[in-house]
Amino acid sequence: MENRSDVVASVVLAGVVMLVGAPVAILQASGGDPTAGPWWLWWVCYAAYIACTVATVWVTESGHRGRGTWLGIAAMTATGIAVYLLGSPGWTAILLVLTAAIAAHYLPWGPVLAVVAVQTLVIPLPSLPGAPPWELILGAAIYGGLQMLSVAAVWIQLRETAMRRELAVANTELRATTALLAETSRTAERLRISRELHDVVGHQLTALVLELEVAGHHAAPPAREHVARARSLAKDLLGDVRSTVGGLREQQPPLRAALELLVADLPRPHVHLAIDEELLLEEEQAATFIRCVQEIVTNAIRHSGAEHLWIEIARDDAGGATLHAFDDGRGAARFVPGHGLSGMTERFEQVGGGVAFDPAGGFTVDARVPAR
């Protein structure tokens, strides 16, 4: 949904910018002169505004927000004002509104208000001299209000986007915690049942086997044969109980189900999950992978701007387990691991493994835990 809204907004922005030049071209084709100065200078400023807009959006969306964004907004403001002053008063002022909206999308509130103030002060200039003061004030107030409306709309949209992103992160963390708590509860219950079987049923069967062995020594035929068969059945049952206890203690945690629940219904990015069906993990290793995937998904939601995230968990040739995750986001020009990635490294080191990060060309995580 967020990506679709960005595409629609970009298309509308491009359409409005292009339509500003249409009346000038039509009037010039019919022999009129819709510009206040040389017509070619207006077209140069208009083309420069389009170029500055495209460059600013491209540089910022590519993950290089900083000095380039500030210079781009400044250039848009200057060329937009030039287009307005060199053209006929009226429709060209819409470029000033668009500049304010783009500035609100990329800059802090202080510089945005400065852009709005400068552009608002420029509004009355084409009407000087000769226009009554009330007309100048009214025109400046109308376009100043339009700029503030566009700025407010952008800020509301950014706030809603941030809230949706944080909600997705909180939902991911909640699902991971729920999966770990559920597995911890299941493990505790399995261990309790296995202890009860071993301590109660196992001991009673052991005593029964011993009693039957003693009875077999004292029984006379044909009762001795029945006692021997009963002793054999009791020993088989004791073996079954021990096998059941071992199976309960060694049962594998449901890693696939937990991870599928963790990444379900994410609006963005779309997670592609692949897990080796033959992979065997201990409970602590499974918990490490669940927390690792949670951190990867959280970072992709908050920082990458990615459309897709691929996560692959498989068994390697040495019997260990590997995780390979990568996305198609913007990556990180200056990579400094935060608390989440540092915690991920510590988790893998605690189970004897390791993890490596590659922020170039998207974000890649490679991790491994040794064989059980």
Model pLDDT for residues 53-78, shown as the tens digit of each residue = 888 888 877 766 778 889 999 999 99
**Hey, what are 187's tokens?**
């493990």
User: Distance between alpha carbon 221 and the CA centroid of its chain, in Å?
Assistant: 77
Q: Let me know whether 56 and 107 are in one domain.
A: yes
Tally of CB atoms within 10 A around 253? 23
Closest CA to 281 of 257, 253, 256: 253
Tell me phi and psi for residue 309, to 5 degrees: -135, 125
Checking if the pLDDT of 4 tops 60, the result is no
Q: Let me know whether 305 and 233 are in one domain.
A: no
pLDDT in tens, 280-331: 777 788 888 888 888 888 888 887 778 888 999 888 877 788 889 988 887 7
Q: Let me know whether 340 and 224 are in one domain.
A: no
Instruction: Find the angle CA(353)-CA(288)-CA(189) to the nearest 5 degrees.
Output: 130
Q: Please state whether beta strands 354-358 and 364-369 pair in parallel, antiparallel, or not at all (unpaired).
A: antiparallel
The answer to whether 296 and 325 have CB atoms below 8 angstroms apart is yes
Average pLDDT over residues 119-138: 82
pLDDT in tens, 138-190: 888 988 999 999 999 999 988 888 888 788 778 777 777 777 677 667 666 76
Q: Let me know whether 227 and 266 are in one domain.
A: no
Q: Let me know whether 235 and 281 are in one domain.
A: no
Assigned domain for 170 exists: no
Which of 109, 131, 153 terminates a domain? The answer is 131
**pLDDT class for 207, splitting at 50, 70, 90?**
confident
Q: Let me know whether 114 and 197 are in one domain.
A: no
Q: Let me know whether 7 and 126 are in one domain.
A: yes
Assigned domain for 150 exists: no
pLDDT in tens, 210-236: 776 777 766 667 776 766 777 677 677
What is the chain's mean pLDDT, rounded? Answer: 79
Q: Let me know whether 308 and 245 are in one domain.
A: no
The answer to whether 352 and 370 have CB atoms below 8 angstroms apart is yes
Checking if the pLDDT of 197 tops 70, the result is no
Assigned domain for 334 exists: yes
Which of 99, 115, 131 terminates a domain? The answer is 131
Which of 131, 148, 178 terminates a domain? The answer is 131
Q: Let me know whether 245 and 262 are in one domain.
A: no
CATH number reported for the structural domain that contains residue 271 in this entry: 3.30.565.10
Assigned domain for 54 exists: yes
**Hey, what are 231's tokens?**
């002793």
CA distance 193 to 8: 58
Q: Let me know whether 33 and 124 are in one domain.
A: yes
Q: How many domains does the chain have?
A: 3
Assigned domain for 196 exists: yes
Q: HEC string of the chain?
A: CHHHHHHHHHHHHHHHHHHHHHHHHHHHHCCCCCECCCHHHHHHHHHHHHHHHHHHHHHHHCCCCCHHHHHHHHHHHHHHHHHHHHECCCHHHHHHHHHHHHHHHHCCHHHHHHHHHHHHHHCCHHHCCCCCHHHHHHHHHHHHHHHHHHHHHHHHHHHHHHHHHHHHHHHHHHHHHHHHHHHHHHHHHHHHHHHHHHHHHHHHHHHHHHHHHHHHHHCCCCHHHHHHHHHHHHHHHHHHHHHHHHHHHHCCCCHHHHHHHHHCCCCCCEEEEEECCCCCCCHHHHHHHHHHHHHHHHHHHHHHCCCEEEEEEEECCCCCEEEEEEECCCCCCCCCCCHHHHHHHHHHHHCCCEEEEECCCCCEEEEEECCC
CA distance 367 to 341: 12
Assigned domain for 236 exists: yes
Q: Let me know whether 19 and 110 are in one domain.
A: yes
Task: Return the pLDDT at 221.
Answer: 75
Average pLDDT over residues 129-137: 78
Containing structural domain, residue 122? 2-131
Task: Return the pLDDT at 308.
Answer: 87
Task: Return the pLDDT at 1.
Answer: 46
The answer to whether 263 and 297 have CB atoms below 8 angstroms apart is yes
Q: Let me know whether 217 and 276 are in one domain.
A: no
